[in-house]
Structure 1
Amino acid sequence: MIPQLQVSTQPSSLEISSSKAKLSISQQRPDMEIESPRAKMDITSPRPDMEIDQHQAFRAYNGGTALEMNQQIYSELPSLMLEALAKRVEQGNRMAEFHLPGNSIGEIYGSDWKRDPFIEFRAPASYDNVDIHVNRNEPQINIEPITPRISAQAYTPQIEYHPGSLDIRVKQYASIEITPPQIDMTM
């Protein structure tokens, strides 16, 4: 028999452990100071304009101007003439029937003692003879804005870094064991 060497090996084994790195950042809030002064405002509100027209009321009181009175009289003359003419025609027709009782000249003209109405020279009276017009004036607003004053103080951030770790250890070293064959010396 041929002698043989016996070789046995054992692999190495490693143990690895690690921890993560840590990073912490903190920063104080900035200090801000804002000063906002009031805007300059100028507001003027003009009084409203009011117009009162009483001309028609004065025409109803006293007839208005001489020209207006003459125009009023002139415009009513035709109707007044027609009324007077109709009255005279009626009286004439009654006188033509003198044979009837009560149609004598004395009775016809004796009952006519009322005066003929005079022409109305005044304008008709009404509740809306006075015209009032109000014109509202818009307010005038001038605003001068003033920019705010802002002051800020920022703080630098505080950064802390904690490095992680990596540990590598050999748990078992590799080994080779060679066992020689036993040699028989007796031979």
Structure 2
Amino acid sequence: MGILPLPQIQIHQQYGRIGIDADMGQLEIQQPRATLEIRTTPSRLEIDAEPGMLLIDNTRWHDALGFGPSLDVMSRIYSKASNIALQAISKIVEEGNRMAAIQTGENVIKSLAKESVNEEIVIFKGTVVGEASLDNIDINYEPGKFDRHFEAAKVERNVTVHAPIIEYQRGKLDIYMLQQPKLEITPPQIDLKF
């Protein structure tokens, strides 16, 4: 009798396979711009000005030229009348003394006539006109009023910030069995004949 071979069991295994179908999700973000609103009030300058006043009084200057007021001229003549009269009497006495001095041989009447014309004009002018001076014109200046009011410009800013808009679409994820796992066991053939 020979040696019998040992029976062998055959095992066949098939692994399971999983199928996955996945799509990525989509994320969409939108950021609206912020709104900026600016309001400007312009600056304001108000000026209130009154002109200055220049007052020139040339009454004394006119008076010194002989164009003064009549009342002042008459008053001046009246106040100096007694003095003029005394000067005139004194002059007459002096002229009489000159005419009495015949021994000098001078033509006194001719000389006195010449002198009297000029002297009378000088006495008359000194009496009628006012005093001549470098300071005969009075100048007075009153400055005007100057007032200013300034308002600076104003800037108002309003910023409106908008929230971002976020949209998300979920992806697809399918998991399925592509191949089922399998285990096959094949028994040996047993020869039952002895």
More helix by share: 2
Q: Is the radius of gyration larger for structure 1 or structure 2?
A: 2
Q: TM-score range by the shorter chain?
A: 0.3 to 0.5
